[in-house]
Structure 1
């Protein structure tokens, strides 16, 4: 189970980095979203992967799942959704203003 989750985290991270390195606005936003998903799954798995365990220790339970990573991931999901919405609106405004979503990288020497 751990190797499957670790492979999924690695795949999401690799695809996120690939998309961030593209010089277009929409793939960058999708890449940041993929990196956010990878970090969320990593945070979630940092609290140990347990099955059929309650989040709160009770008298009849043999163990418990750590609720702190679950709370961190829930907070991170809400924050990343808001930041994705802001980034989409900024990219949409730039696209409507310039007519293209390409990111131009120029040096100071090229501007003269």
Structure 2
């Protein structure tokens, strides 16, 4: 199962880098979201895909699942949601002001040739 997850993480990272290198601002935002999802899966895979019970006090089980990677991923999901929302608002405001979502046209380098 770890091999399959590593392949999925690699595909997510590859597609995220491809999208982040494009000229469209919306594609860059989608690329950053995919990169954060790939990082979440990477943390989950590195921690080990173990089976077991929830770590509850007073319960007697043979094996417990480590709650630290789950807490890290939950925190990272909240942070990436906030950053993605901020990027979307920033891109919308830039589109309103400049009338384009092309990064080269925002810099003013494409029309000067």
- Shorter chain as denominator, the TM-score bin is 0.7 to 0.9
TM-score under structure 2 normalisation?
Answer: 0.86
TM-score under structure 1 normalisation?
Answer: 0.87
Q: How far apart are the structure 2 equivalents of 1:31 and 1:86?
A: 14
Deviation at 1:39? 0.3
Aligned pair 1:45/2:45, yes or no?
Answer: yes
Q: How far apart are the structure 2 equivalents of 1:30 and 1:83?
A: 12
| 1:18 matched residue in structure 2 | 18
Contact 2:16 2:34 in 1 (8 A): yes
Contact 2:6 2:45 in 1 (8 A): no
Q: Which consecutive residues of structure 2, in runs of 5 or more, have no partner in the other structure?
A: none
CA-to-aligned-CA distance 1:4-29 (integer Å, 9 cap, x gap): 10110000000000000001100000
| 2:77 matched residue in structure 1 | 77
Q: Which secondary structure state, in structure 2, belongs to the residue aligned with residue 34 of structure 1?
A: helix
| 2:53 matched residue in structure 1 | 54
Q: Which consecutive residues of structure 1, in runs of 5 or more, have no partner in the other structure?
A: none
Q: How many residues align?
A: 107
Residues 58-69 of structure 1 correspond to what in structure 2 (within 5 A)? 60-69=60-69
